[in-house]
Structure 1
C-alpha cells in the first residue's frame, strides 16, 4: 500500500493559483492539484463539481478524471515490461517481426523505437494507413502507434496492458481509483465537451488499450511518485527499477530538426532545449511529463524530488487558450515555487 505523509507547504500557492487560472479559461466544471515533494504531499486541493448540473457531486479525493493520452504512460510501462522480460528482444527490432502486417511497404524500416517516440511517420487518411515521412526522420503525434504497441504487447506477452500494470503496480500498491471503465459510476468525472465534437469517441473494453481510462488526482500523483522513486516504495522495491528507467529515459532517435519534442517510452522527456518541447524552459534536464487532451498533466522532476499533477475535465481547448504555452508555464511555475 502507498503511504505518503501530508505536510502542506504554502510555497506552492502560486502553482495552485496557476491551475485555478487555467480552470477558469477552460470549459470545465472542476479540477484538482497535487504536489509531492521530498516524500511529502505538500499541496492537495479540489474545487468544482463532476458536471455542470447544480446537483452534481463535488470534486473530491476519490474523483476520477478521464486522463486521455496520459494513459500512454501506462502503455509505455507495459512495453518496458515486455522489453525487460525479453518478450521484445530490442526496441530497434522492426515492427513486422512481432505482428503480421499486410501493407509492408508502409511499414518499411519502422521499429518499435519509432512507435514509442512518435517518429514512426504513419497516419490514417480516408480510412487507409499512409506514410507522412520516413520512419525516424521527423516527429508527429498520431494515435496509430498506440494501437500497434498495444497489439505487440498482447501478442508477445500473452497479457493485456491492464493485466500487466495491475499485476505489477495496482495490486501490490492497492490502487483502487485507477482503471478502464465501460460504464459510468459516481466516482467518474464527466468530460465536458461540445455535443457534436467529432474528435470525441467513447470506448468499450477494460484491456487497457482504449480511451476510457479514469484516475483520481492522488493516484495519478502516486503513479508519478513510483517513477520518481524508480519503483522503490515504502522501504521496498515494489516495481522493477529497470522497467522505470527504461520507460523514462531518452529513447528518441537523432533527428535533423533539433527543435522537436523528445520522448522515452511515450513520456515526454527533457534533454536538450527544444522550441517545440511541451516541458517548461526552467524545468531541469532529466525531468519527464505526460499530458492528456483533457488538459490533465503529470510532471516528474527527479532533480528536485518532486511530482506535480493537475486535473481538469475539459475536452480540448477553448478559443484563445494556448495549450503549449500554458503547459510550459505550469512546469516553470513549479520551479518558481522552489
Structure 2
C-alpha cells in the first residue's frame, strides 16, 4: 500500500511546477508514511523539505475558519446556519445585495455573490447553485469578529493551536528559513500576499506534520493524546453535510467549507472510491487533507506550487489521491 500512495504523490510532484512536496499518512492513529521530496525553492543551496517545513495552505485555511464558525455556532454567538447574514453584520458592512443570503449559503459556496472590480454582484439566487468565490471568507470573517469580538486567528490560537501545542501553523507576515517559496505566485493574478494576520486573509502556512495532526483531531472528534481538547459537536458541525438541497444533484457537497462525501455527485472533489462520510479540504497550492472516518485514515499531501501547469487536471488528480488510498486497502 505505502508504495502506491507514495508513487501517486511523487507523480503529482513531478507534474506540478514546484520544487518540494510532503506526504503524511495515518491509519488507526498510527503514522504509516512520512516522506519529503525536494527543496524549499529552485535557488542553489536551498533548504531541503523536512518535518518543520511550512507550506502555504491557500484555501486549506478554510478548515480552520470552519472551526471558528462551528465554535461560534456551538457557543451561541451565531444562532443558526439559516440566519440571514444581515443580522450579524455591522450596519456599515450591510449591502442590499446580501438580502436572502444565510450563513449556510456562505459556508457551502451556495451564496451566489461575487466581488467584481466595482461592486458586489449576485451571480445566482442564494441556495440554488454552487460557485467557489472568495467573498464568502471575507464576509464570514467580518461576522465572526463582530459577533464574538475576537478574530478568527485569536479563536484558533487560544482554542486550538495552544492546546495542541502547534508551533508550525498560523497566519504569518514574517518569514524565516522554514517557509517554502511559493512557486508560480509572481506570475499568477490570483496571488494576494497580506500583512494582515487576523485569519481573514490567505497568508496561512503549516507544516505537513501539524496539518496531519489537525486531521487527526478531527478524526478523533476533538480528542488528542487521550485528552478531550474541545467539544466533539464542534467537529461534527463542521464536517457533516450542510449544503442546501440543490436541483442539480451533481454539485459538490459541503460541510462548513469542508468538502464532504455523501453521494457520487460528479462535481465532488472527493474520489469516487472514497466511502461516504469522508471529508476533504484542498487549496490552489494542491495541498490536500483527506479524512476517512470509516477507515480511520488521515492523509496529507503538500506542494509549494501555486496554480496548475497546462494540461494538468486538478480535479482528476485530487480525486485520484483519495482513490489510490482506498484501492490500496482492498
**Structure 1: gaps of 5 or more residues:** 1-10
Query: How big is the shift at 1:233?
Result: 1.7
1:264 aligns with 255
Output aligned runs, 1:49-128, within 5 Å.
Answer: 49-99=39-89, 100=91, 104-128=95-119
Query: How big is the shift at 1:197?
Result: 2.1
CA distance in 2, matches of 1:196, 1:234: 43
Q: Which residue of 123, 129, 137 maps to 2:128?
A: 137
CA contact (8 A) 2:73 2:79 kept: yes
CA distance in 2, matches of 1:242, 1:195: 41
TM-score by length of 1: 0.95
Q: What is the DSSP-based 3-state SS (H/G/I as helix, E as strand, rest coil) of the residue aligned with 2:186?
A: coil
Runs of 4+ in 1 over 4 A off after TM superposition: none
1:335 aligns with 326
User: Deviation digits for residues 274-314 of structure 1, max 9, x if unmatched?
Assistant: 00000000000000000000000000000000000000010
1:182 aligns with 173
CA-atom RMSD, angstroms? 1.0
1:150 aligns with 141
Q: What is the DSSP-based 3-state SS (H/G/I as helix, E as strand, rest coil) of the residue aligned with 1:92?
A: coil
CA distance in 2, matches of 1:316, 1:196: 10
**Structure 2: gaps of 5 or more residues:** none
Q: What is the DSSP-based 3-state SS (H/G/I as helix, E as strand, rest coil) of the residue aligned with 2:35?
A: strand
CA distance in 1, matches of 2:30, 2:167: 21
1:203 aligns with 194
Q: What is the DSSP-based 3-state SS (H/G/I as helix, E as strand, rest coil) of the residue aligned with 1:195?
A: helix
The reply on whether 1:12 has 2:2 as its aligned counterpart is yes
Q: What is the DSSP-based 3-state SS (H/G/I as helix, E as strand, rest coil) of the residue aligned with 1:106?
A: helix
CA distance in 2, matches of 1:194, 1:164: 29
CA contact (8 A) 2:70 2:238 kept: yes
1:5 aligns with none
Q: Which residue of 277, 284, 298 maps to 1:286?
A: 277
1:38 aligns with 28
TM-score by length of 2: 0.97
Q: What is the DSSP-based 3-state SS (H/G/I as helix, E as strand, rest coil) of the residue aligned with 2:325?
A: helix
